[in-house]
């Protein structure tokens, strides 16, 4: 008898498909209420940090260099109060095989897929992860399919996504390109079921454990170079895996005093699933359209429980405007001789401003870079924006309206950050937990989980539960 391949039927088989495609029974970690055993799930990878470092080294991933951005530090100090202006450093992840930190995630996932006997891997992503999975799959002798949300209903695709498709195909992957909408996850599930391939998701424990080596390296490199841990590490935040893995790696290295700050491009007002607004944005990742939803509800991902849980590790969350990121992209190239793509430059724009708050002897690290070129270049992005009716203006970035204009700062002094209210974000997360699990009473176990998952205290969590009328 043929399987029912209707949308409703396939979505109804979601957990079954995922269990076969990840080789992990997520029900083993669940409690009876809201919480689950996060650390037990992470341990399910079966790999120690040292083993993951070895796995990544086999395919040339990791041990990337750190540069001190002396000229940008000097420039930041020109706009800082006397005695302020921390030293800015950059971890150059663009030198990984496919050009981004996501090789770390893909290396672990592809190794595990090969070890379990899967013939191929599938990833649903419009970002750098697709090319990372394609690259690592090629090295491991695995087939690879990448599913992309690429076009609007008129068949117009963003140059950055099209460039990433080219790179995936260059590594031998089959790329399935879709229009924006709900068919992405459906198509992904159908392909997993039909092929029997491994789900190389961004959000499995294997993927997040792969990023832990990045945080660990940062701590080790700074101890060797500067004799101490960095004061601040800034991470571009989208789905939360980058921040989660980096923070966990820092903790495993013992760098528990290092503050972890998330940074996203402010795309407030644009709906990522809107056909009309899809091409009104100039960033395909690292923006609030992913950063906020995934922070307030991480389990919206393509696995039953996401291993990317940024609220657990985030000390501060800021946004920057699109124009400032483009500005810093060019500043990095012209002042430091490093031409890199926009994702890492999101955290660089934030670092440039936040460095001005810190003392001169403090250290702030921009945690990643990515490759650039073709559709990922700022000129291609700005040209595409103009073609879509976006005004390109030189002025005050705080006046930028996403979807209407991109404002490049008049000078570096205009670069600013906007604070995301973390307590408000925590409230949204707790509210989503209550709504999703439809509970009217929270157990002690769930209360402890909510404290851990929001990096907050019991008094705060109870105050939110009181507001929601939930017993505990």
Instruction: Show pLDDT as tens, one digit a residue, over the chain (472 residues).
Output: 678 999 999 989 988 898 899 989 899 999 888 999 999 999 999 999 999 999 999 999 999 999 999 999 999 999 999 999 999 999 999 999 999 999 999 999 999 999 999 999 999 998 899 999 999 999 999 999 999 988 888 889 889 899 999 999 999 999 999 988 778 889 999 999 999 999 999 999 999 999 999 999 999 999 999 999 999 999 999 999 999 999 999 999 999 999 999 999 999 998 877 888 888 988 888 999 999 999 999 999 889 999 999 999 999 999 999 999 999 999 999 999 999 998 889 999 999 999 999 999 999 999 999 999 888 899 999 999 999 999 999 999 999 999 999 999 999 999 999 999 999 999 999 999 999 999 999 999 999 999 999 999 999 999 999 999 999 9
Which residue shows structure tokens 């991109």?
Answer: 406
CB 340 within 8 A of CB 219: no
CA–CA distances in Å: residue 133 to residues 225, 304, 307, 362, 369: 32, 21, 18, 36, 18
Burial group, residue 60, by CB count within 10 angstroms (0-12, 13-18, 19+): middle
- Provide the phi-psi class of 133: left if phi over 0, else alpha when psi is between -120 and 50, else beta: alpha
């Amino acid at each position: 008898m043929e399987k029912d391949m209707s949308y409703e039927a396939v979505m109804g088989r979601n957990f079954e498909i995922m269990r076969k495609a990840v080789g992990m029974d997520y029900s083993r970690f669940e409690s009876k209420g809201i919480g689950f055993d996060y650390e037990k799930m992470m341990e399910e990878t079966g790999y120690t940090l040292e083993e993951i470092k070895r796995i990544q080294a086999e395919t040339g991933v990791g041990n990337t260099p750190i540069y001190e951005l002396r000229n940008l530090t000097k420039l930041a100090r020109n706009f800082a109060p006397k005695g302020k202006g921390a030293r800015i450093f950059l971890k150059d992840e663009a030198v990984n095989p496919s050009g981004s930190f996501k090789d770390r995630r893909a290396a672990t996932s592809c190794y595990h897929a090969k070890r379990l006997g899967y013939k191929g891997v599938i990833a649903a992503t419009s970002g750098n992860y697709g090319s990372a999975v394609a690259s690592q799959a090629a090295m491991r002798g695995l087939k690879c399919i990448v599913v992309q949300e690429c076009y609007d209903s008129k068949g117009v695709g963003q140059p950055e996504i099209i460039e990433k498709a080219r790179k995936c195909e260059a590594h031998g992957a089959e790329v399935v390109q879709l229009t924006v909408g709900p068919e992405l996850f459906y198509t992904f599930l159908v392909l997993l079921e039909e092929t029997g391939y491994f789900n190389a998701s961004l959000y499995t424990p294997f993927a997040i454990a792969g990023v832990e080596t990045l945080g660990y390296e940062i701590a080790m490199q700074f101890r060797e170079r500067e004799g101490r841990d960095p004061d601040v590490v800034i991470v571009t935040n989208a789905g939360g895996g980058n921040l989660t893995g980096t923070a966990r790696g820092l903790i495993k290295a013992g760098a528990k005093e290092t503050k972890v700050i998330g940074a996203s491009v402010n795309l407030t007002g644009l709906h990522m699933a809107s056909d009309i607004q899809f091409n009104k944005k100039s960033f395909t990742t690292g923006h609030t359209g992913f950063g906020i939803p995934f922070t307030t509800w991480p389990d919206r991902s393509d696995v039953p429980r996401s291993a990317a849980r940024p609220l657990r590790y985030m000390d501060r969350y800021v946004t920057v405007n699109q124009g400032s990121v483009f500005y810093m992209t060019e500043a990095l190239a012209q002042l430091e001789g490093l031409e890199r793509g926009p994702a890492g430059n999101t955290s660089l724009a934030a670092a440039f401003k936040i460095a001005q708050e810190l003392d001169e002897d403090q250290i702030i690290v921009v945690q990643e870079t990515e490759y650039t070129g073709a559709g990922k270049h700022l000129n291609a992005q700005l040209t595409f924006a103009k073609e879509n009716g976006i005004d390109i203006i030189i002025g005050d970035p705080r006046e930028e309206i996403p979807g209407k204009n991109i404002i490049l700062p008049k000078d570096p002094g205009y670069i600013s950050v906007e604070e995301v209210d973390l307590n408000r974000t925590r409230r949204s997360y707790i509210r989503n937990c209550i709504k999703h699990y439809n509970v009217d009473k929270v157990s002690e176990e769930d209360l402890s989980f909510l404290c851990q998952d929001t990096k907050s205290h019991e008094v705060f969590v109870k105050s939110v539960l009181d507001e929601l009328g939930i017993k505990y």
